[in-house]
Amino acid sequence: MVGGVEEHLTVGRVAELAGVTVRTLHHYDEIGLVRPSARTAAGYRAYAAPDVERLREVLAYRRLGFGLREIADLVDDPATDAVARLWRLRGLLLQQRDRAAAMVTAMDRELAARMRGIRTTPEEQLKVFGAQLYDTIGSAYPATRRTEPRIAARIRDALGDARTVLNVGAGTGSYEPADRDVVAVEPSAVMRAQRPVGAAPCVAASAERLPFADRSFDAAMAVSTIHHWRDPVAGLREMRRVARRVVVFTYDAGGTDRLQRFWLTRDYLPEFTGLLTDWPSLADLTQAIGGRAEPVLVPWDCADGFFEAYWRRPEAYLDDHVRRAVSVWTKVGPQAERRAVDALREDLSSGRWAERNRHLLALDAAELGLRLLVA
Ligand SMILES: C[S@@+](CC[C@H](N)C(=O)[O-])C[C@H]1O[C@@H](n2cnc3c(N)ncnc32)[C@H](O)[C@@H]1O
């Protein structure tokens, strides 16, 4: 790390350390991307600590495949500070690492199959590029996603006296009751790898095809996951098949007020409705398990950082690591995300958000469409 103000690095030394050519550094200087601001004793341009910091960011974005013009926008983004930019970069690097890890796993599988004389199908060869969403965003999950005790209590009550419990779409294991005999099901390798030591055994499978016999469990639970399933109704039927009781924490995507009930979607992220177009109605979901739906209010200080969790703490949505742990932001795409966040930041600093949402500050919990399905 570059130390005090006097410490600076010559262009040659910087090139050597960073593994780039001096020509590249001169080019960055010419186009104004990274301008060395210090001078050596002999009057040559030299890189001071802030220049090196900026260069590090530029080189990381280069390595991620961004073009120089895009990089200039990212590093000069006036809306973010240095720490927020590091979080963003870190998230992108982790995504790239996870994607590469998923491809290596798929290739190892193919090499092993070829050694046994088995050829992979064209579908299998392409599947890795459309890898599970959670294989790319999953590593950001544990930063803010954890068990919310009041929701956990509702789930525990609904599980009743069930001794054996199947947790479908289990992720890193939030909400798994420690006092029952739990088996987890999770299709994403990245999520499985983040399950803590001592967590319940986890099977690599999907809800739509549970590898268990009929009625193998007292209860099956699924938390914040069915909106990711390819076929939620088929998955719920599978849960019903393998368990006597079913408990599902999910979201009611129906009703004309679905955009209106949360200020974030109403005023900043109307793209959210686009994510719900093919989503089954609450009636279809409850019918699939033969059960009922109960509202779950979101406490103002909700410990599980899901999309609606910060309804009374709007500043949280400005944090990149809060957003990276929620798939909605990845699904709406970077443009909608940036626009929504910029508008929210502006409204928070101008007092407009407070003006519109003052009434929320008096509430301890809010009805935002979250439901517990119980059968
Ligand atoms: C938002 S996370 C929820 C994880 C955990 N239940 C929790 O509450 O923290 C959604 C999880 O569903 C998983 N998932 C996606 N598609 C699935 C499917 N078809 N069957 C089962 N799980 C799936 C994802 O890999 C991810 O781990």
Atom of ligand 1 at shortest range from CA of 146? 9
- What does the mean pLDDT of the chain come to? 89
CB 276 within 8 A of CB 258: yes
| Range with top average pLDDT, 92-96, 156-160, 188-192 | 156-160
- Atom 10 (ligand 1) nearest CA: 225
Average confidence (pLDDT) over 76-97: 75
- Atom 26 (ligand 1) nearest CA: 171
Interval between CA 352 and ligand 1 midpoint (Å) = 36
Q: Is the pTM of this model over 0.85?
A: no
Interval between CA 180 and ligand 1 midpoint (Å) = 20
Tell me the two tokens of residue 318: 């400005």
CB 149 within 8 A of CB 166: no
Mean pLDDT lowest for which of 83-92, 111-120, 166-175, 239-248? 83-92
Residues 324-373: tens digit of each pLDDT: 899 899 888 888 899 999 999 999 999 999 999 999 999 999 999 999 99
> What pLDDT was estimated at residue 7?
77
Residues 25-35: tens digit of each pLDDT: 999 999 999 99
Residues 178-229: tens digit of each pLDDT: 999 999 999 887 788 888 888 999 999 999 999 999 999 999 999 999 998 9
Residues in the chain: 375
Three-class secondary structure of residue 148 per DSSP: coil
Residues 97-145: tens digit of each pLDDT: 767 777 787 788 788 888 888 887 776 776 666 556 776 677 777 788 8
- What's the rounded Cα separation, in Å, for the pair 347 and 291? 42
**Which mutation among 228, 229, 242 tests ligand 1's pocket best, with the greatest number of atoms within 8 A of CB?**
228
Tell me the two tokens of residue 98: 């996870």
Tell me the two tokens of residue 253: 């995507």
* CATH placement of domain 9-72: 1.10.1660.10
Q: How far is CA 209 from CA 126, 203, 224, 234, 256, in A?
A: 21, 12, 19, 8, 33
Residues whose CB falls within 8 Å of the CB of residue 24, separated by 6 or more in sequence, listed in order = 15
Residues 64-84: tens digit of each pLDDT: 888 898 888 888 877 667 777
Q: What percent of the chain has pLDDT over 70?
A: 93
Same fold, 9-72 and 143-374: no
- Atom 8 (ligand 1) nearest CA: 223
- Atom 19 (ligand 1) nearest CA: 229
Interval between CA 139 and ligand 1 midpoint (Å) = 13
Segments of 85-216 assigned E as strands: 164-168, 181-185, 202-203
**Which mutation among 127, 172, 225, 308 tests ligand 1's pocket best, with the greatest number of atoms within 8 A of CB?**
225
Q: Which helix (H) or strand (E) holds 249?
A: strand 243-251
Which residue ranges have their beta carbon within 6 Å of ligand 1? Answer: 132, 134, 145, 168-171, 174-175, 186-188, 191, 206-208, 223-225, 228-230, 235
Residues whose CB falls within 8 Å of the CB of residue 220, separated by 6 or more in sequence, listed in order = 165, 166, 167, 168, 239, 240, 242, 243, 245, 246, 247
- Atom 15 (ligand 1) nearest CA: 228
* CA angle, residues 145, 335, 191, in degrees to nearest 5: 25
- Atom 4 (ligand 1) nearest CA: 171
> What pLDDT was estimated at residue 73?
81
What are the structural domain ranges in the chain? Answer: 9-72, 82-131, 143-374
* CATH placement of domain 143-374: 3.40.50.150
Atom of ligand 1 at shortest range from CA of 145? 9
In one letter, which amino acid is 117? G
Residues 254-273: tens digit of each pLDDT: 876 777 899 999 999 999 98
> What pLDDT was estimated at residue 101?
73
